[in-house]
Structure 1
Amino acid sequence: MTDTRPLPSAPPALHVLGALALELRGDAPVAHVALAQAQVGELAALVARDLAKFSPEAATLELVTVGAHYDPVEVLRPGWPLHHELDQLAARAPRDGGLKTGGRVIAFGAHEDRLPGNLAPSPDFAGGPLRLVPLLLGGDADAVARVGDAFERDLLETGMAGADTALAAQHAFGLQIEHARYLTVHDLAAMIAMQYEHAGLGALWPILETALLEPDGEHWLDAPPEPLVHYAQREARIAMFETSAWKQRYAADADCSDPQVRERLSRQHDQFQARQRQMAAVLQAHAVAVTFVHCPSTQADVRADL
């Protein structure tokens, strides 16, 4: 992804946002989620070399990365906070006062088992089959734009990491890698959207996509039998219906004089509430603020409550 919008609290700048994606093998253990500073340089140099193969002009840009791996929900968050943190830390890194013909590589590692800033991976999201090493390219705006366009066009199809890069990551992190490839954050979003579709969460993706790509935008999920969700003002508001309001919206034609129908509706209402909790948990994992809004209203004006 080439992001022309400013990172939060940062001056306007153009960056290429991406990641080295590590697809792990089965239930093999992971020895390390973060590398010591002394270990990071070799892997970062291999990443820089790989990126320059995909677009030679990438070698003229500054590469910022970290010796740690994260779950997709930690990367796909409004404002791209991991990439923002890398940018902020890199801005404070010492710079060579001399002229350079190529871009520099900045790689952050752990000191006494602690990563700098807010880069620590969350243990709540450990253990997934896809782990991501975030990376950020910056520099001359025209060069960044050209590299970003090339990556968006080609990386998903041609972005396999070098065999030595995959082996270096496998050895350093102590994990078993099936595939290692580079993705822009747009590529990653498309991949996760497909996974959510297969997991039965496709209806929620447009809300997440709006939060990621247009955080000040607005989107409705208004498609019964799904919960009613309104994303606006950087918050997802989920309608919490009173029982009568839920029936009016989702089962208006049901004959509640029949005990079997009432029992079926009770089960459906329980399932509906579980679906609400599931959607809220997914949104919160992506750091989207969630508010449950009590909605006693009739179907005609329930959207006004959100």
Structure 2
Amino acid sequence: MTTNPAERLVDLLDLERIEENIFRGRSPQERLQRVFGGQVAGQALVAAGRTTDGDRPVHSLHAYFLRPGRPGVPIVYQVERVRDGRSFTTRRVVAVQQGRTIFNLTASFHLPEPGFHHQLPMPEVPGPEKLPKLADELREHLGTLPEAMERMARRLAFDIRYVERLRWTPEEVRGAEPRSAVWMRAVGPLGDDPLVHTCALTYASDMMLLDAVRVPIEPLWGPRGFDMASLDHAMWFHRPFRADEWFLYQQESPVAGGARGLARGQIYDRDGNLLVSVMQEGLFRPLS
């Protein structure tokens, strides 16, 4: 039995092949209302990647969260081999749980080829070594962590460090720009399979992107006033990377309204290279 959270993440992404294009993924039994969306997205991308030759890294994915998944119930991933071209490979994945479709994803893989390069610069922020771990920052404010938070901190597969100190009062929140940024990396080695690193970062990309929508509304780690759910998720992968090395996840929300909020993120490595771009829309319904 694995005890390291990073090893558990790798194990979670290691799907069982049932047939040529059908895979089954575990869904841990946890005290959550729904399966974490990043888990489903990461597992679906593993399924897609395992039906390719492996010489074409994924360059983009587009996904929709259709129904909440049930924790503790296996998820079956059905892969459609849409296209195998000279330069691009396309896969469509449908995630099914208890006979119902809960998620679908389309992923495109591109054979590396030469081309020109440019990017906007990474924002200037303190390095992760100068910032407190998320659990330490929570303990500093709360004194002791509630049991649920303590359990989460022990099981978290990523070291998370907010670039700005967390806001805890309505006065601190009021007038804040809808932006957030964190340094992240897996808490242990993830091996050398590039697909595992891509899928692990896909998992992590859903952990807090919608934070940017909430920043002007309520403290991120205080009592939540909204029922939140991811609606869709898109990613573009620009360069190779390792998810067990530090990356900066810069997030902002350009608009929110009609019970929906849009967030976009850019993920950079320590050298300022833009690795991944992310977009997500979430549902925000006030709790009654």
* TM-score normalized with structure 2 length: 0.24
Richer in strand (by share): 2
Richer in helix (by share): 1
Highest Rg: 1 or 2? Answer: 1
* TM-score normalized with structure 1 length: 0.23
Higher relative contact order (CA 8 A, sep 6+): 1
